[in-house]
Amino acid sequence: MTPNGSNGARPLIGVTTSEVRRAETVRQTPRSEPPRIEMALGLIYLQALEAAGALPLVIPPMAMDAIDPLLDRLDGICLSGGPDLDPETYRAKPHEELGPIEPALDRFELAVAGGADRRSVPILAICRGMQALNVVRGGTLHQHLPALPGKLLHRQEEPGDIPTHPVTIEGPSLLAEAVGAGDLEVNSFHHQSIDRLGEGLQVVACAPDETIEAVEDPSRPFLVGVQWHAEAMAARPQEASLFERFVDAARRPAAAPAA
């Protein structure tokens, strides 16, 4: 099957979702279906991608043997934000402040990300998504960022469209081409962050406290991760440009899968 983006149509971009809502925590809407386990994903991811020219598709958790047929049909992958990753995925013991985790879902999402990476499918990874990408590449995470000395507040109370701290974007890089080199004010909603960098990834932005805020693989047409929630700021020209460049990359034919 020919991917949608390779024939000039709007590229089909899969968006992972990793936030689980248990039936006992879901309040039933009057006259609706009974409470049950749900997956949650902010509509702003889909809106940002659609505004950039893509056809976004939410990826639910599926059987592992569905991943290759899924990737056969997708032109790009957006790894979304969400809860903490299971430290078992990078062979670490749980920190006492680790948040709720979903190990089975983590394994599926990491398999999707790894499969897309091997195929050189364009990837835009956001917040937890950037951390997942780092783990796929063999990296590790700081499990509880507030425990590290001298760190900024990285979980803001302000709305997502309000920036609360700067990051410095380095060039030349794909990210600098999209949003510009130098300082950029961003939002911040993460509990974890990159510790050991994954293989082949390059740090292209940091916060003033040296927290890694963006990574990319310069050998790929488009593989970019940002720690801030770019989708919540897609009304700004910088983030709009980031989504547009991602979608443009997804329009090009994908390379053959790596051996």
pLDDT at 251: 94
Task: Please state the length of the chain.
Answer: 259
CA distance 242 to 195: 24
pLDDT at 210: 95
Angstrom CA distances, 45 to 208, 233, 235, 238, 239, stand at 27, 10, 12, 16, 12
Structure tokens, 206? 């940091």
Tokens 């937890």: give the residue. 128
pLDDT at 1: 45
Based on the residue annotation, tell me whether 231 is a catalytic residue of this protein: yes
| Residue 6 CB contacts under 8 Å (≥ 6 apart), including other chains | 75, 251, 252, 253, 254
3-state secondary structure 124-178: EEECHHHHHHHHHCCCCEECCHHHCCCCCCCECCCCCCCCCEEEEECCCCHHHHH
Domains and CATH numbers, the chain: 4-250 (3.40.50.880)
pLDDT at 92: 98
Q: What is the mean pLDDT of each run of 10 residues along the chain (259 residues)?
A: 62 93 67 77 96 97 96 98 96 96 95 98 98 98 93 93 97 97 97 97 97 97 97 98 98 64
Structure tokens, 127? 């917040």
| Residue 94 CB contacts under 8 Å (≥ 6 apart), including other chains | 87, 143
Catalytic position from the list 109, 213, 216, 231: 231
Catalytic position from the list 127, 142, 191, 244: 127
Based on the residue annotation, tell me whether 127 is a catalytic residue of this protein: yes
pLDDT at 171: 93
CA distance 107 to 85: 10
pLDDT at 39: 84
pLDDT at 151: 86
Burial per residue of 116-140, b for 16 or more beta-carbon CB atoms within 10 angstroms, e otherwise:
bbebbbbbbbbbbbbbbbbbbbebb
pLDDT at 45: 97
Reference 79, options 53, 100, 108, 102; nearest CA is 108
Catalytic position from the list 109, 229, 239, 244: 229
Reference 75, options 241, 251, 246, 231; nearest CA is 251
Displacement of CA 257 from its chain's centroid (Å) = 21
